[in-house]
Amino acid sequence: MEGSHGETGKALRGKAKQLYATDDPEILWVEYKNTATAGDGEKKEDFTGKGRLNNLITTIIFDLLKKRGIDSHLVKRVNATGQLVRKVNMFPLEIVLRNVAAGHFCSRLGVEEGLPLKEPVLEYFLKNDDLHDPFVNDDDLVALGVCTREDLAEIAPLARKINEALIEIFAKIDVKLVDFKIEMGRASDGTLLLADEITPDSCRLWDQRDHSGKVEHLDKDLFRRGLGSIIPAYEEIEERLAELAKSEGIEVAE
Ligand code: TMP
Ligand code: ASP
């Protein structure tokens, strides 16, 4: 079904996306915005084209994951900045996977950015703006009733499987997947689904094409660290992913 989000919608506003109801209670409309934020919204800027690029990138990545047996909430991309997705009951969790030390892992543990990790690290952050999304462990989540042991026994292996698939996908386009954040929820039939987005906003992506040993960021660290515009980097990711998807027979929007 096609959503007419403007009329039916009670909007749920996020920093980079906006969610609207449609006339189907099982389906939501996601609108990708041009806004980039960092540091809990302290730093904020609009980048023309970001919403379009992130909509394309998430769609391609979810399609590539689907081909690898990993389902998401995505129903379909409907226009430049809009997507229809299945309504899922979200866990209020930021699920972070790390393959290389960067960002908060380095500041928390005093290790140098770029240190390869002997195995992937899975971290949970509770989504709570007032507390700035605190780091939590399995016991915290179960004790607070955020999720059950059984939920975590499904969430963790799915997160690790997504990491393996994304490492392979990004390696194919000469990009190192340093770390990323995902979110999950349960559909009305109880199925655990990957939801939200996977974009250069939510991943650290280091270019492996020749930069004479210097890290070339193809992600939101360009904005977080004031290194320049994010748009050329997001375009580069979109173009490489689109080429990969086409080579796998996936239809990609122009
Ligand atoms: P971190 O090193 O700042 O904890 O970030 C780890 C990864 O998670 C990185 O790829 C960026 C992503 N991330 C988000 O998508 N949203 C957030 O709010 C934060 C803090 C990180
Ligand atoms: N969650 C942060 C914010 O919106 C962004 C980030 O660092 O990924 O401010």
Q: Do 199 and 101 fall within a single domain?
A: yes
User: What's the pLDDT tens digit per position in 129-183?
Assistant: 899 999 999 999 999 999 999 999 999 999 999 999 999 999 999 999 999 999 9
Q: What is the mean pLDDT of residues 13-42?
A: 94
Check pocket membership of 206 for ligand 1, CB cut-off 6 A: no
In a domain, 251, yes or no: no
In angstroms, the CA 16 to CA 33 distance is: 5
pLDDT over threshold 80, residue 3:
no
The mean of the pLDDT values for the chain is 94
Return the closest-CA partner of residue 163 out of 74, 70, 252, 245: 70
Best residue among 95, 123, 179 to mutate for probing ligand 1, ranked by most atoms within 8 Å of CB: 179
pTM of the model: 0.95
Q: Do 101 and 219 fall within a single domain?
A: yes
In this prediction, what percent of the chain has a pLDDT beyond 70?
96
Ligand that lies nearest to the alpha carbon of residue 219, given by its number in the listed order = 1
Q: Do 79 and 184 fall within a single domain?
A: no
In a domain, 185, yes or no: yes
Q: Do 162 and 179 fall within a single domain?
A: yes
Around ligand 2, the residues with Cβ closer than 6 Å are 15, 37-41, 224
Domain that holds residue 203: 92-229
Return the closest-CA partner of residue 20 out of 10, 7, 34: 10
Residue 10, pLDDT score: 57
The structural domain count of the chain equals 2
Round to the nearest angstrom and report the end-to-end CA distance of the chain: 22
User: What's the pLDDT tens digit per position in 62-119?
Assistant: 999 999 999 999 999 999 999 999 999 999 999 999 999 999 999 999 999 999 999 9
In a domain, 142, yes or no: yes
User: What's the pLDDT tens digit per position in 171-210?
Assistant: 999 999 999 999 999 999 999 999 999 999 999 999 999 7
In angstroms, the CA 201 to CA 126 distance is: 18
Distances (CA, A) of 220 to 44, 69, 229: 12, 28, 9
Q: Do 159 and 203 fall within a single domain?
A: yes
